[in-house]
Structure 1
Amino acid sequence: MNQRILISGCSGGGKSALLAELRRRGQWTVAEPGRRVVAEEKTGTGAALPWVNLEAFAHRALKMAHEDLRTAAHKIGFVFFDRGLIDAAVALQVATGVGIHETLGPEKHYATDVFLAPPWPENFKQDEDRRHGFDQAVAEYERLAIALRELGYSITLLPKTSIKNRADFVLERLEGHSRI
């Protein structure tokens, strides 16, 4: 069984650290498309960096997220995605006004239950690749929560706790659902 589990939410909310812990525990994980696009762009022209051209960035992240889903299709068990198509579609909507339904269509790309990392100011840090501030991260979180609900996903908020406890929470929740 392939269950594609999306972990989305606020920048600096601890998603990547959670994915690293899940990977350490033997789970399949997929790194955030946006961070990978930024890394590629920094070695190239830089034309699709989000602070240079958000629309080009979102298109690149969408393409990469689609490729990630195709690659993960043959995996057995849970596959955890650090962000993905929905995050990129929301970024494209911000950049162009194109609606998420128009970008994503009717298909559910991930399991119905999505884990959402809430704003966590103590955890948020700007860096060379995350140039926006905490207020923009909170606005992004709010847009994602609205989009996920509009797309028919159920949201489970990740607790603000240690990475180990967060990973336990996610795995216990998923195991509980698989027994139903």
Structure 2
Amino acid sequence: MDHLVVVTGGPGSGKTTLIDHLAGLGHARTEEAGRAVIRDQREIDGPGLAWRDDALFAELMLAWEIRSHREAAALPGPVFCDRGVPDTVGYLLLRGLPVPPHAEAAARRFRYRPTVFVAPPWPEIFTGDAERHQSQEEARRTYDAMLEVYPRFGYAPVELPRVPVAERARFVLETLAEEDPGSGHRT
């Protein structure tokens, strides 16, 4: 699954903005599970919100990520994934919850390109919104959790530079092209 490229990190670090920019350049993308689950659960006043039931929220995110992986795997690449299955394991660790064997199994089974781009905390651009209730401190802890969990599953994190979105996109595309010069990645 080398054509599935994960962009992860803490909330408010520019991940989705980067992926939106890459999509504007013609690349396929996935939607972030956490935001989608929150939106869906709010619409139905469901119990699967992080502030109501962390474990259920994690299960819903895991199911979303697995479905997103399957859909993205069928697309030509690269496909930029707004987080990945291992993010759910990182979320559970961050929240101090046990990681069930099926979540570990999913993170091992549903694979992405070995290079994972990690957006570092960036206080200057951090903002909250309807789906993002985390503090900057929690954003930093999320970033740390992703740096811990992705290598655990055999991935190599690459920190994104804190630069304007077009430069970040160029960095990502050039990194991918350097890893696989014959891949035809568009820059």
Q: TM-score range by the shorter chain?
A: over 0.9
List gaps (5 residues or longer) in structure 2: 183-187
Deviation at 1:102, TM superposition (A): 3.0
1:95 and 1:34 mapped to 2: Cα distance? 17
Whether the 8 Å CA contact 2:11–2:134 is kept in 1: the answer is no
Partner of 1:126: 128
Partner of 1:69: 69
Aligned residues: CA RMSD: 1.8
Secondary structure of the residue aligned to 1:132 is coil
Q: Higher mean Cα deviation, 24-33 or 49-58?
A: 49-58
Whether the 8 Å CA contact 1:29–1:81 is kept in 2: the answer is yes
Partner of 1:155: 157
Q: Say whether residues 1:40 and 2:40 are aligned partners.
A: yes
1:143 and 1:124 mapped to 2: Cα distance? 18
Identical-residue share of aligned pairs (%): 31
Partner of 2:98: 97
Q: Say whether residues 1:165 and 2:153 are aligned partners.
A: no
Whether the 8 Å CA contact 1:37–1:57 is kept in 2: the answer is yes
Whether the 8 Å CA contact 2:2–2:112 is kept in 1: the answer is no
Q: Higher mean Cα deviation, 102-111 or 123-132?
A: 102-111
Q: Encode CA deviations 1:52-77: one digit per residue, 9 max, x unaligned.
A: 11111110010011001111122112
Whether the 8 Å CA contact 1:5–1:80 is kept in 2: the answer is yes
How many pairs were matched up?
180
Deviation at 1:15, TM superposition (A): 0.3
Partner of 2:119: 117
Deviation at 1:99, TM superposition (A): 5.9
Q: Tell me the TM-score normalised to structure 2 length.
A: 0.89
- The one-letter code of the counterpart of 1:176 is E
Give the 4+ runs in structure 1 shifted more than 4 A. Answer: none
Deviation at 1:95, TM superposition (A): 5.1
Partner of 1:80: 80
Whether the 8 Å CA contact 1:2–1:75 is kept in 2: the answer is no
Whether the 8 Å CA contact 1:9–1:144 is kept in 2: the answer is yes
Deviation at 1:127, TM superposition (A): 2.1
2:6 and 2:149 mapped to 1: Cα distance? 13
List gaps (5 residues or longer) in structure 1: none
Deviation at 1:96, TM superposition (A): 2.5
Partner of 1:138: 140
